[in-house]
Amino acid sequence: MPRYKLVVEYDGTPYVGWQFQAVGRSVQQAIEEAILKFTGEEIRIQAAGRTDAGVHATHQVVHVDLARDWRPDTVRDAINAHLKPEPVAILAATEVGPDFNARMSAVKRHYLYRIVNRRPHAALERDRVWQIPQRLDAEAMHEAAQALVGKHDFTTFRASECQAASPVKTVDRLDVERIGDEIRLFASARSFLHHQVRSITGSLVQVGGGKWSAADLRAALEAKDRSRCGPMAPASGLYLIGVDYPAK
């Protein structure tokens, strides 16, 4: 039974999230239904990360086992044909070995958070950014963010319903930069806690707006107390932009 690695792009706005839910349509459901129409097989797919409702992806990774040995470009094109008009697309399909697992084999995940920082609303990218009219200091946000890089107990930035076994995570990258009216936050780690990136982003906005200092952010981290977290950033600005796997 051949296994395929799929790279997936989607607009998360109309979905309840990646994962199949009893109520509401998910990205996973949309892809599985397209695979059923293509192959006649009812199959469960597994993804590198379970994005929340409203969160987008430019590079989600999925694996799927099919009964027939299809050409990878046929798998890509046939699934896409049945995904129309869903805001979901298979960007690439590759045949991989049976030991490849989209979730368990991943060694690093990369996220981008986008903030449009201007008074006029984001008319063309509504539901794809967080629009903040007050001027933010991106340099101060970046400097403060470096206190969160490395291995820490991220209880403060962890959702109450998070199911991770431990709040301890190692953040490899947390960069903030301004490009014109847009502020971009890049976060990379092997794995993240539920709502961790959105919680960190919301707290960094407190720094950028002058309500918190860098010392306040560090103190919030060290408190290991969810009540010390800043307001959580909305899902609309968050993107899964990459997943790394071993070089082999």
Domain termination site, one of 53, 73, 96: 96
Number of independent structural domains in the chain: 2
Domain termination site, one of 96, 119, 140: 96
Dist CA 9 CA 90 (whole Å)? 6
Task: Write out the catalytic residue numbers.
Answer: 52
Dist CA 126 CA 122 (whole Å)? 6
Let me know whether 116 and 230 are in one domain. Answer: yes
Let me know whether 60 and 168 are in one domain. Answer: no
User: Is 42:122 a contact under the CB 8 Å cutoff?
Assistant: no
> What is the domain-level CATH number for residue 209?
3.30.70.660
User: Is this structure's pTM higher than 0.75?
Assistant: yes
93 pLDDT more than 80: yes
| Percent of residues, the chain, with pLDDT higher than 90 | 95
Residue 29, Cβ density class (10 Å: 0-12 exposed, 13-18 middle, ≥19 buried): middle
Cα-Cα-Cα-Cα torsion 128, 193, 212, 183, nearest 10 degrees, comes to -30
Let me know whether 51 and 74 are in one domain. Answer: yes
Domain termination site, one of 96, 127, 155: 96
Let me know whether 130 and 87 are in one domain. Answer: no
- Side-chain-facing half-sphere of 242: CA atoms under 13 Å: 10
Let me know whether 124 and 150 are in one domain. Answer: yes
Let me know whether 72 and 136 are in one domain. Answer: no
The stretch 174-179 carries a mean pLDDT of: 98
By residue range, what is the domain housing residue 134?
108-244
Domain membership flag for residue 223: yes
Q: Which residue has the higher pLDDT, 74 or 20?
A: 74
Match 């993240």 to its residue by tokens: 192
The stretch 147-161 carries a mean pLDDT of: 95
